[in-house]
Amino acid sequence: MALEIRDIHKYFGPVRASDGVSFTIESGTLHGILGENGAGKSTLMKILSGFYEADSGEVVLDGEVLDLRSPADAIEAGIGMLHQDPLVFLPFSVLDNFVLGSPGGIHLDRSEAQSELARVSADLGFHFDPAVAAGDLTVGERQQLAITRLMWLGAKVLIFDEPTTGISATQRVQLFTTLKRLAQDGLIVLFVSHKLEEVEELCDSVTVIRQGKVVYEADMPVPSETLVAEMFGKIFVQEDHASIETGAPLLVCRDLVLDEGTTHIEALDFEIASGEVVGLAGLEGSGQRTLLRACAGLIDPTGGTLTVDGTDLTGASYRDHLHAGVHYLPAGRLEEGLVEGISIAEHLVLVSDDASFFIDWKKAEEVATKEIDEYSIKGRPDSNAETLSGGNQQRLLLAMIPDEVRLLLLEHPTRGLDVESAAYVWTRLLERRERGTSIMFASADLDELLRYSDRIVVFFGGDIFAVRDAAETDGEELGYLIGGKERV
């Protein structure tokens, strides 16, 4: 069996998302697809999985030219895709999600389906309670459920789009073990990523896509410098973060008590100096997100005080926090930060300080054109947010930050971004820091925490477990602390 991609073209207006893409993958191969954000990786994968129709070209599997007009067509042909955000219905049970898309019409033997769930998941090394709601699963467990369903539906080609985003280190190890086994069993596994170390660790071969074209193909291993040069068309050197002298305390939390879902933070004492960068580390649900949302005014404390620049904001509204110079960038760019269906220009109008009753749309387009150029956004003033790549969505969110910000709160600021986009994001953030803006960010990337933080605060079980000077610690120690242990 082989998967052949022959001269695929896909245009969105003047944008050539896929511009004559061709390559072949043999069965039993774990194949990496590399490229910067906006290179065309996701577009190509959506064509292979039936979410998009190609404008021209062919997809051939095992010698048969496929007619892919929908995801149902793709899975019937044996191609399944695991998206960065697993496609599960959160209120539905594990069993209900498992049987979605299965043949058999309106009648379903739930007992047989439960047996099949147990059989397929056990074969993959997964375990589920069929009655639990998918919303109660971690991102990694939802991912495992999606893989189980695709295998039950008969997938012979599995596409994984940035699959390590948002999962724990333990789940990453289990995922990689599963992918290697699937390839050994003769399946074709496509691993789409911007993380060089993951492709180098996992893949047998690699294809690099740049500006909608295949620019490089090779069997692994390949030197990292070669892959970076092919992804970006140049050798990219990332500069280290330099510390600067900080000022007086800006954010001050005293005996702060927070409750959000199952997360409880008790009597937290914490402060950030003006111009300081503080990274928040910890397992998902340990308290980092809850603290960020409380400091942004999205959660009311149930005890204690929270002040910013001397102003008491305890229990104040989100709007009051904005007026005090607090700005929050959530991890969910489309879900929480941007609005589907409206353009770049309309987003910038929403955050402008123009109090006029009528909108000057000519001026709005001029402002959008200026911001698109300044932040290197790959889009036009009339491009809707959901049509942008993850990196370009993040650049739009950066463009929407007001000029006068005292405290900038970020949740996973570079999640899903390639090396160059991530470095660009931090370049712009540190420019603000040099003007006295304090930055507090949560990240699961230990290298990011160590590179850009002045101090790192480690959460464990809703408490601050440790605080470390970033220049005096390392990834090994952080790993111990995140797990609730001191390094011996």
CB 425 within 8 A of CB 441: no
Spatial strand order of the sheet with 303-308 comes to: 263-273, 249-260, 303-308, 311-312
Q: What is the pLDDT of residues 112-136, one digit of tens each?
A: 889 999 999 988 888 899 999 988 8
pLDDT at residue 20 greater than cutoff 80? yes
C-alpha distances (whole Å) from 232 to each of 17, 222, 273, 451 are 16, 16, 37, 22
Q: Phi then psi for 197, rounded to 5 degrees?
A: -65, -30
Mean predicted confidence (pLDDT) in 350-374: 87
CB atoms within 10 A of CB 248: 10
Distance CA 237, CA 423 (A): 10
> What does pLDDT average to over the chain?
87
Question: Look-up: residue for tokens 């005293």?
Answer: 254
Distance CA 147, CA 139 (A): 12
pLDDT at residue 275 greater than cutoff 50? yes
Q: Phi then psi for 20, rounded to 5 degrees?
A: 80, 45
Of the given ranges (31-40, 185-194, 299-308), which has the lowest mean pLDDT?
A: 31-40
Give the pLDDT score at 36. Answer: 72
Say which residues have a Cβ less than 8 Å from residue 34's Cβ, sequence separation at least 6.
41, 193, 194, 196, 199, 206, 207, 208, 209, 227, 230, 231
Give the pLDDT score at 462. Answer: 79
Of the given ranges (31-35, 176-180, 371-375, 443-447), which has the lowest mean pLDDT?
A: 443-447
Give the pLDDT score at 236. Answer: 46
Q: Is 72 helix (H, G, I), strand (E, B) or coil?
A: helix
Say which residues have a Cβ less than 8 Å from residue 194's Cβ, sequence separation at least 6.
34, 35, 36, 37, 162, 416, 417, 418, 419
Distance CA 30, CA 6 (A): 20
Distance CA 160, CA 375 (A): 29
Mean predicted confidence (pLDDT) in 155-167: 84
Q: Is 469 helix (H, G, I), strand (E, B) or coil?
A: strand
pLDDT at residue 22 greater than cutoff 90? yes
Give the pLDDT score at 421. Answer: 78
Higher per-residue confidence, 198 vs 49: 49
Give the pLDDT score at 376. Answer: 83
Give the pLDDT score at 317. Answer: 93
pLDDT at residue 340 greater than cutoff 50? yes
Task: Please give the single-letter amino acid code of residue 419.
Answer: V
Mean predicted confidence (pLDDT) in 223-251: 72
Give the pLDDT score at 77. Answer: 93
Task: Please give the single-letter amino acid code of residue 71.
Answer: P
C-alpha atoms less than 13 angstroms from C-alpha of 184 in its C-beta half-sphere = 8
pLDDT at residue 262 greater than cutoff 80? no
Q: Which one, of 156, 168, 145, lies nearest residue 83 by Cα?
A: 145
* Token pair for 198: 């993951």
Q: What is the pLDDT of residues 471-481, one digit of tens each?
A: 898 877 887 78
pLDDT at residue 107 greater than cutoff 90? no
Q: pLDDT grade, residue 306 (50/70/90)?
A: very high
Q: Is 123 helix (H, G, I), strand (E, B) or coil?
A: helix
Question: Look-up: residue for tokens 């892959």?
Answer: 227
* Token pair for 252: 């001050």
Say which residues have a Cβ less than 8 Å from residue 242's Cβ, sequence separation at least 6.
none
CB 260 within 8 A of CB 290: yes
CB 359 within 8 A of CB 349: yes
Name the pTM for this structure: 0.60
CB 459 within 8 A of CB 271: no
Higher per-residue confidence, 305 vs 124: 305
C-alpha distances (whole Å) from 175 to each of 144, 180, 321, 410, 479 are 8, 9, 40, 27, 19
Mean predicted confidence (pLDDT) in 175-195: 90
Mean predicted confidence (pLDDT) in 399-409: 90
Q: What is the pLDDT of residues 61-106, one digit of tens each?
A: 999 999 999 999 999 999 999 887 777 888 889 998 898 877 665 5
Say which residues have a Cβ less than 8 Å from residue 385's Cβ, sequence separation at least 6.
334, 338, 339, 340, 342, 343, 344, 347, 393, 396
Q: Which one, of 435, 404, 440, 409, lies nearest residue 323 by Cα?
A: 404
Give the pLDDT score at 39. Answer: 81
Structural domains in the chain, CATH included, are: 2-232 (3.40.50.300), 238-325+403-488 (3.40.50.300), 339-401 (no CATH)
